[in-house]
A and B are shown apart, each in its own frame.
Chain A
Amino acid sequence: MSEIVITNPANFDAPRPTIPLPRGPIPAAPPKIARRSIDIKIDGQAISVPEGSTILDAAKELGIETPTLCYLESLTPVNVCRVCVVELEGSRTLVPACSRKVEPNMSIKTDSERVRLSRRIVLEFLASSVDLSTAPNMREYMDRYDAHPERFGETRATVAQPIKIDNDLYVRDYSKCVLCYKCVEACGVDAQNTFAIAVAGRGFSARIATEFDVPLPDSACVYCGNCIGVCPTGALMFKSEYDMRQAGTWDEARQTQTDTICPYCGVGCDLTVHQQDGKIVRVTSPLDHSVTHGNLCIKGRFGWQYVQIQPADPPEE
């Protein structure tokens, strides 16, 4: 189909609605500043990565799998779990791979005896005190590092506490919390900037809490669910998922995921809809999506329930 051509377009003092505008140049973003390459060695293999990369990035590039708990690509590393530590030549202590930036000529061991021992102890401490039954990666990590939390005995201290169900959307079970701070980060400067939760208390009594530990409906929470989106252990859970788990009907093997676009405002958030047996059971968003970075608002995260409403009987004449 031929295009409508404008003759002498610059003669117009204003666009005319009936005449299509001509094409302009294709817009471009300013060029990215080139980052210099840094040469390092990991487990004896040489690799060159852009300045600003972390040891974790470099290890990933080499196909070396590093366990992480408090790390997430969309959040600022807080270095609390220490499960990703690696041995850096010349360093007195082990360093966290998730946040330590590469420096020229670093020599790193990711699987030395010292690293394995440290990771094992971290996993044992966590698994001895926290209920990790809904943390999918933990079992695998514990097998890999031969962790035996049961060696601390039956009288070991735990963070077991009553589950908090104070609203229809979220369940908070801090018996399952490893204090990775991801929820705090997502609620804070890394995404939502609502600051409804923070770490309260010290030492073994440290826990995630709202201000003065009030129930969520009395807090600043706006129910975006972005904390649930980043929780690695299931301590924070959608009520829909919790209810199904309680009823024994939650079965991820029967679930499929399909991406669509949120039906509400015009921002265009990508929703990953998890369905089981023809019912929506959970909504998430991809971490690498340019619009959401994994984050949603209350409507995107929970506003799908209208889809499940079954048609009522036709109204009477």
Chain B
Amino acid sequence: MLWGSNARETHPIFFHHLLKGLRNGAELYVIDPRRTSSAQWATLWLGLDVGSDISLANAVAREIIAAGLHDEKFIRHATSGFDAYKAHVEKYTLERAERETGVPAAAIRKMAHAYAKAPRAQLCWTLGITEHHNAVDNVVALINLTILTGHVGRYGSGVNPLRGQNNVQGGGDMGAIPDRFPGFQHVENDEIRAKYEKAWGVKIQPKRGWHLSDMFEAMEHGALTTLYVLGENPADSEADRHRTLKRLTGLEFMVVQDLFYTKTAELADVVLPAAAGAFENEGTVTSSERRVQRVRRTVASPDGVRDDLDIIFDLACRLGHNWGAPDPETIWNEVRSLSPMHGGMSYRRLEELGGIQWPCYDESHPGEMFLHGRFWSDPLIGPRAPFSVVEFEPPVDQLDEQYPIRLTTGRKLDDYNTGVQTEKFASPLRREVALEVSPEDGLHYALLEGERVRVTSRRGSVVAPVKFDAALRPGLAFLSVHAHDQVSTNDLTIDAVDPRSGTSEFKATAIRIEKLQPV
């Protein structure tokens, strides 16, 4: 199941593996508001309304339970909270879900049965699930399905959030989240904190920090006045751009460390030119399958441009901490000494094995191709997997007569995020950024392909050419996020933030479309 993912375009080489499975007889269910190029390969496409995922997931669960297809033995052995969950999803009948999601009841039923009956099943998702105000609820609604059917912790079965950036997994693994040290060790655990304090010779504050959206909130209230931005372009990438720019320009001091003079760098007090990580630095990144892999210097950096490590070490020195000469392998070995799940990943082994999937506790450990195998151990090892009771909540930016069209956003095959890297190569696929609408809406608003229209949300307004896309259902429009100098998509989007993940609801904006010239 690909839920809220257009992997054909956003993870093309992963999709090659998926296609091999299809050629070998596997079934593919794609749950996406758009009939994407991934959906075109599907056994069944479930074109749900944006943000109705929980209603769909709960109805799938109800159907599985009603048909007796849940894995009772696994549920008893390894989960908790099933009775409350069962009572909760009872309300999500196929008819209700059809009403709330727009997906025909028969299609929901077919997917539910196929998923529950499959000997092995993977549930993959991407930002279609997580770029919502209730992102974590969406995720646990899907996790519920995997523990309901026992499709977790077994070869060929599992949950698989496809990571969208080459080291977004590694960033989290290395502690670039507000409450964790490397290896997901919690900062609010005294023993773990003591371990790091001893190794680093400093006192570490016992409370978690802020995630990105917390920081932007704090800028609003003047609680955050200095910002150091490394390799991020929030001036273009944050939702509700007008508000973002106001917050960034209100800072007392901002440093931007980047390859290019981005929109964010233009606002900075100091810009530190950085080397291109994947091509000019030594180190490691961690892929979507938790595989730690080596990146290597392939060419020298241009003059005046420095490795991120050099910059950070130099900065530390100026702040009174001499860390010595920066050496990626020495730093990595420190990570290994403090993060148990990286313990066995020496540079030598990473080289020999072509990367290792964490956890890898010691040098005799092969790494682990999937997680959660402990749920199948008898007796059970560790805590149970809890069912979560989550309720369907529509997107924050609601449709009404003034804003009747649902705008969703996403990536194109040949571009990447705010386009800072990809705009530098001449892609023959690249077209002018356009507001993609269904042919039916084109007819309704009497639009011509290529005609420039005004697109307005409750936060902002942009002008964009129109492109028809039969993959969109009436009432649904799409904009890519790659070229804010052409169409500033994030002028429209809403920064309704999921309180737990800190992710904004990029996927659901209410807009209206107006012709620039009257007919």
Q: Tell me the A residues contacting B by CB distance below 8 Å.
A: 1, 3-4, 6, 9-10, 12-30, 167-169, 189, 191-193, 216-217, 221-224, 258-271, 273, 275, 278-280, 289-293, 295-300, 302-307, 309-312, 315
Contact = CB atoms under 8 A, between A and B. Distances in A.
B335 interface: no
Interface string B325-361: 0000000000001101000000000000011000101
B155 A263 contact: no
Nearest to A189: B23
A217 B300 CA distance: 34
Contact of B421 (A3, A260, A303): A303
Interface of B is mostly: loop
A224 B427 CA distance: 11
B315 interface: no
Given A13-B80, A168-B426, A311-B305, A265 B191 contact: no
Contacts of A192: 16
B383 A224 contact: no
Contact of B179 (A4, A17, A259, A262): A17
Interface residues of B, number: 93
Contacts of A264: 165-166, 416, 421
Interface in B418-465: 420-422, 424-429
Given A22-B374, A25-B373, A310-B302, A258 B297 contact: yes
A303 B155 CA distance: 34
A266 B11 contact: yes
Contact of B155 (A22, A30, A306, A309): A30
B164 interface: yes
Contact of A266 (B169, B191, B374): B169
Interface string B374-385: 110101111111
Contacts of A268: 166, 285, 287-289, 291, 293, 355
Contacts of B192: 4, 20
B414 interface: yes
B166 A265 contact: yes
B280 A307 contact: yes
B145 interface: no
A304 B299 CA distance: 11
B204 interface: no
B341 to A, nearest CB: 9
Interface of A is mostly: loop
Interface in B467-511: none
Q: Report the 5 A-B pairs with minimum CB-CB distance, sorted nearest first.
A: A268-B287, A24-B374, A266-B163, A12-B383, A263-B278
A239 to B, nearest CB: 9
Given A27-B368, A311-B305, A16 B383 contact: yes
Contacts of B338: 1
B285 A295 contact: no
A1 B343 CA distance: 11
B189 A4 contact: yes
A309 B260 CA distance: 9
A189 B22 CA distance: 11
A266 B160 CA distance: 12
A10 B428 CA distance: 57
B246 interface: no
Contact of A191 (B16, B380, B422): B16
A190 to B, nearest CB: 9
A300 B179 CA distance: 33
B309 interface: no
Nearest to B291: A268
Interface string B158-173: 0000111111110000
16 contacts: A1-B195, A4-B189, A12-B382, A17-B186, A20-B185, A26-B373, A222-B413, A258-B297, A259-B296, A265-B12, A270-B293, A291-B287, A300-B13, A303-B425, A311-B304, A315-B261
